[in-house]
């Protein structure tokens, strides 16, 4: 790993978010995107460790997690707009990210950070009665919903 990649100091985004801890996990609602994110205990620990001061290496040590898993989690946090600034990912972790993603889908009980995100219905959607917001519309959407980008809205 390049030394400069390990010295990056990611910062968790908190502005515009409603954070609701639940036991060791946390629900994060983003009013700007109208999405809710569930972070399991491991993902929460990483997100909270992103204080803009600690380096990637320090976060890896404090959360007792491998760099491959940490990079994948940071990529997910960034993708879900839960980091203030973008993190430069190393190019050689694609295989590691795919491996840990496969392990995450195989079973969540092995201590892998997992972030699940869903679209939250707006007041307008609730008025129309769309009960499947965020569901795949491969087989169509129920009455009151429309298919937008492969998801019911």
pLDDT at position 121, please? Answer: 64
Query: H or E stretch including 134?
Result: none
Widest pairwise Cα distance in the chain = 54
Same domain, 34 and 95: yes
Q: Are residues 116 and 127 in the same domain?
A: no
Query: How much is the pLDDT for 59?
Result: 94
Question: And the tokens for 78?
Answer: 């960034």
Same domain, 109 and 136: no
Separation in Å, CA 12 to CA 92, 104, 147: 24, 22, 32
pLDDT along the chain (153 residues), means of 10: 68 93 91 90 95 93 91 92 86 52 48 79 59 73 76 76
103 and 28 assigned to the same domain: yes
Q: What residues make up the domain containing 67? A: 3-120
Amino acid 47: pLDDT: 96
Least Cα distance to 83 among 5, 8, 10 occurs for: 10
What domain count does the chain have? 2
């Amino acid at each position: 790993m390049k030394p400069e990649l390990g010295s990056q100091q990611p910062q968790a985004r908190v502005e515009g978010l409603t954070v609701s801890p639940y036991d060791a996990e946390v629900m994060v609602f983003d009013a700007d995107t109208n999405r809710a994110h569930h972070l399991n205990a491991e993902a929460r620990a990483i997100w909270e460790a992103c204080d803009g001061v600690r380096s990637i290496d320090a976060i890896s040590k404090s959360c007792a997690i491998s760099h491959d898993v940490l990079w994948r989690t940071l990529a997910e946090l960034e993708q879900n707009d839960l980091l203030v600034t973008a993190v430069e990912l190393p190019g050689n972790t694609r295989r590691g990210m795919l491996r840990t993603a496969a392990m995450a889908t195989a079973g969540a009980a092995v201590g892998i950070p997992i972030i699940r995100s869903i679209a939250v219905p707006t007041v307008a959607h609730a008025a129309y009665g769309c009960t499947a917001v965020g569901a795949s519309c491969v087989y169509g959407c129920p009455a009151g919903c429309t298919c937008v980008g492969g998801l019911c809205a």
